[in-house]
Amino acid sequence: MPEDMEIDAQGEHGYLVTQPTELEDVRTWFRVSPDVMDQIGSDDEEDVVRRTVEFLRRHQDVADFPETVDLEDVIASYDDYLPAMTED
């Protein structure tokens, strides 16, 4: 995990990710559904959240992250997300 990222479990299938930027910390809620985990082929939700953050960082600035990220929306928005997440 990048040293500048904190991931905290927030109940069932929810994670709060905190990433510092030059101006302020960016906090983003991530929601992970069992269906998404099945599509990715993983049972480690925190790892999937970490890799999703890394994926999104390649597409946008941390400051532009939305307040809430539902992984189903990421799948719908990025054609290259599932292939990137299922690569070994």
H/E stretch holding 13 reads none
What are the residue boundaries of the structural domains of the chain, listed by start? 6-86
- Residue 4 CB burial class (10 angstroms; 0-12, 13-18, ≥19): exposed
5 neighbors 18 (Cβ within 8 angstroms)? yes
Question: Would you state the pLDDT for residue 63?
Answer: 87
If DSSP codes are grouped into helix, strand and coil, which group holds residue 9? strand
Alpha-carbon distances, residue 25 vs 78, 84, 85 (angstroms): 25, 26, 26
pLDDT of residue 37: 95
pTM for this prediction: 0.91
Q: What is the pLDDT along the chain (88 residues), one digit of tens a residue?
A: 445 799 999 989 999 999 988 888 999 999 999 999 999 999 999 999 999 999 999 999 998 999 999 999 999 999 999 999 987 5
65 neighbors 49 (Cβ within 8 angstroms)? no
Amino acid at 51: R
